[in-house]
Amino acid sequence: MECGNRLVLAPMVRVGTLPFRLLAAQYGADITYGEEIIDHKLIKCERRLNEDIGSIDFVEKGTHNVVFRTCHEEKNRVVFQMGTSNAERALTAAQIVCKDVAAVDINMGCPKSFSISGGMGAALLTRPELIHDILTILKRNLDIPVTCKIRLLKSSQETVELAQQIEKTGVAALAVHGRRIADRPRDPAKWNEIADVVAALSIPVIANGDVFGYDDFQRIKVATGASSVMVARGALWNASVFSPEGKVPWEDVKIEYIRKSILWDNDIKSTKHTLKEMIMHHSCLELPEGKAVIKSETLADLAKLYGEEKYYQFVRGNRLLLKGSCEAREPEAAALKPPFLEMHLILAAITARNLEPALNWASTNGDKLEQNGSDLELKLHRLQFLEILQKESRDKALKYARTYLAPFACDHMAESQKLMACLLWIGSVDCYK
Ligand SMILES: Cc1cc2nc3c(=O)[nH]c(=O)nc-3n(C[C@H](O)[C@H](O)[C@H](O)COP(=O)(O)O)c2cc1C
């Protein structure tokens, strides 16, 4: 996993489960951290391939309690964040997940009392020798990158000194949350103190704190000198913060999140918590929507609340249909199930003349399409352009073309000219109406 020049989804307890990580990646996050999981919890787990869902689950032995769920699709960008206060235990825990994730991160910033009292999170910041032991043992024994996330110490000089000690352990990157332990989330992040760390280190520093819009990525990069940026609340409130095309309405992001929660059978508590956070920020939990979310007990309840019953039924139905075929063959075939279902849903949407899901898919997989010499993305934008031209207005179509077709113009000049001619043609037809 490359850590420089990356847009990063921050670790967030009860939020950063698989559907939210995939959501952030769909909108442009390059690296997605999972929620912090305590080493004690992970060492009680065994790895199971979940053939119903197509996921890789780490399940508490003797129970059905999924502690961490991931999937093949995110293997190269998911960071497993761990809470620990012991080097050997951290290694035992990391060895359980290390084949299925891109990197392991140690949380050294959590100021909550349960972390501090267990000697974890921000408690580590005062124990540089323990930090050294934990990071060194992980670095020596794992084949994947090791990173860690800290907060600011009392003075910038102390933070820089600690960061330099951390760098010496051989970590691949250091995330710095620009607040001190005593700071509240509403206190402004101190980007200038992150800058001091960046200036003193050679490894990539991931700057974190107060990024709420796409423009902030550039602002924090300039202010700190960091090439990578990590976002927590800005992504929680609207995961499309990572999109260079600007944010999409939060209601649309919310529905996409609910669909992903259904597709990956997310823990209802996590989905509800995340939705509640979104609603609290944009609206109010006391209104009917908030009350109904609080009352929901299952994903089926949420699907009904948001008019996604058909999607829910489709996913459930196809899981049952595919179960036999996956069990009979390679267990790894199960990993193909979610992409298959997703593709099915995209095709169903295209049939209903809704190109949005296909366009989202093509933009997330733009690199792969390009590698294969595919012009699918252009073709989809062309269709969408014509749809807007026919159903809406020439102005809107022109705006769409400027945003989405212009980047293809150099390599597809003839095609672009033809499409621009459509604008004129539609106009001339209008004259005869
Ligand atoms: C809901 C929530 C959960 C969080 N959970 C974690 C966590 O599990 N591990 C961690 O290192 N930081 C956690 N944080 C802190 C964030 O990763 C981040 O450092 C902090 O919110 C500052 O970034 P922001 O200004 O973009 O929100 C959490 C923050 C929020 C809002």
Read off the CATH number of the domain in which 15 is found: 3.20.20.70
Q: How much is the pLDDT for 324? A: 53
Domain with 384, as residue range(s), is: 371-432
Query: Given ligand 1 and candidates 13, 32, 104, 276, which is best to mutate, with the most ligand atoms within 8 Å of its CB?
Result: 13
Structurally, the chain folds into a number of domains equal to 3
Indicate if 405 and 306 belong to the same structural domain.
no
Indicate if 121 and 11 belong to the same structural domain.
yes
Q: Which atom of ligand 1 is nearest to the CA of 151?
A: 19
In a domain, 414, yes or no: yes
Between the CA of 337 and the centroid of ligand 1 the distance, in Å, is 32
**pLDDT of 269-282, one tens digit each?**
999 999 999 999 99
The amino acid at residue 1 is: M
Pocket lining: 107 vs ligand 1, CB cutoff 6 Å: yes
Indicate if 206 and 60 belong to the same structural domain.
yes
Indicate if 205 and 305 belong to the same structural domain.
no
In a domain, 2, yes or no: no
pLDDT band, very low/low/confident/very high, at 223 (cuts 50, 70, 90): very high
Among candidate residues 45, 98, 110, 326, the one labeled active-site is: 110
Averaged pLDDT, 214-218 = 97
In a domain, 250, yes or no: no
Q: How much is the pLDDT for 431? A: 44
Q: How much is the pLDDT for 333? A: 60
Strands 37-38 and 78-83: parallel
Which residue, judged by its Cα, is nearest atom 12 of ligand 1? 11
Q: What gap in Å lies between CA 420 and CA 194, rounded to an integer?
A: 47
Phi, psi (deg, nearest 5) at residue 367: -60, -45
**pLDDT of 91-115, one tens digit each?**
999 999 999 999 999 999 999 998 9
Q: What gap in Å lies between CA 63 and CA 67, rounded to an integer?
A: 11
In a domain, 200, yes or no: yes
Between the CA of 9 and the centroid of ligand 1 the distance, in Å, is 10
**pLDDT of 154-179, one tens digit each?**
999 999 999 999 999 999 999 999 99
Q: Tell me which range, 116-120, 346-350, 422-426, is most confidently predicted by mean pLDDT.
A: 116-120
Pocket lining: 105 vs ligand 1, CB cutoff 6 Å: no
Indicate if 175 and 261 belong to the same structural domain.
no
Q: Are 56 and 49 in contact (CB under 8 A)?
A: yes
Q: How much is the pLDDT for 275? A: 98
Indicate if 220 and 113 belong to the same structural domain.
yes
Pocket lining: 209 vs ligand 1, CB cutoff 6 Å: yes
Mean pLDDT of the chain: 91
- Residue where one domain finishes, among candidates 216, 245, 274: 245
Known active-site residue 110 = yes
Pocket lining: 32 vs ligand 1, CB cutoff 6 Å: no
> 118 exposed, middle or buried (CB, 10 Å; 0-12, 13-18, 19+)?
middle
Indicate if 141 and 272 belong to the same structural domain.
no
The amino acid at residue 191 is: W
Length of the chain: 433
Pocket lining: 24 vs ligand 1, CB cutoff 6 Å: no
**b/e 21-30 (16+ beta carbons within 10 angstroms → b):** bbbbbbbbbb
- Residue where one domain finishes, among candidates 347, 363, 379: 363
Q: Which atom of ligand 1 is nearest to the CA of 177?
A: 19
Statement: residue 8 has pLDDT above 90: yes
How far is residue 403 CA from its own chain's centroid?
A: 24
In a domain, 39, yes or no: yes
Between the CA of 423 and the centroid of ligand 1 the distance, in Å, is 47
Indicate if 390 and 311 belong to the same structural domain.
no
Indicate if 62 and 192 belong to the same structural domain.
yes
Which residues are CB-contacts of 131 (< 8 A; sequence separation ≥ 6)? 108, 124, 125, 148, 162, 165, 166, 169
Indicate if 75 and 172 belong to the same structural domain.
yes
Pocket lining: 342 vs ligand 1, CB cutoff 6 Å: no
Q: What is the number of other CB atoms lying within 10 angstroms of the CB of residue 307?
A: 10
DSSP 3: -
Pocket lining: 180 vs ligand 1, CB cutoff 6 Å: no
In a domain, 69, yes or no: yes
Point out the least confidently predicted range of 23-37, 229-243, 410-424. Answer: 410-424
Averaged pLDDT, 213-221 = 98
Within 13 Å and on the Cβ side, how many CA atoms surround 320? 5
In a domain, 1, yes or no: no
- Residues of the chain with pLDDT > 90, as a percent, come to 70
Averaged pLDDT, 54-60 = 95
Q: What dihedral angle (degrees, nearest 10) is formed by the CA atoms of 15, 19, 22, 24?
A: -40
Tell me the pTM.
0.81
Which residue, judged by its Cα, is nearest atom 16 of ligand 1? 232
Statement: residue 326 has pLDDT above 70: no
- Residue where one domain finishes, among candidates 197, 213, 245: 245
Q: Which atom of ligand 1 is nearest to the CA of 105?
A: 11
More confident residue, 326 or 126: 126
Q: What gap in Å lies between CA 308 and CA 262, rounded to an integer?
A: 10
Phi, psi (deg, nearest 5) at residue 168: -65, -20
Indicate if 207 and 144 belong to the same structural domain.
yes
Pocket lining: 211 vs ligand 1, CB cutoff 6 Å: yes
Q: Which atom of ligand 1 is nearest to the CA of 175?
A: 19
Indicate if 19 and 137 belong to the same structural domain.
yes
Q: Are 220 and 229 in contact (CB under 8 A)?
A: yes
Which residue, judged by its Cα, is nearest atom 29 of ligand 1? 12
Statement: residue 67 has pLDDT above 50: yes
Pocket lining: 196 vs ligand 1, CB cutoff 6 Å: no
Q: What gap in Å lies between CA 219 and CA 211, rounded to an integer?
A: 9
* H helix or E strand, kind and range, residue 165: helix 156-168
More confident residue, 400 or 277: 277
In a domain, 217, yes or no: yes
Which residue, judged by its Cα, is nearest atom 5 of ligand 1? 12
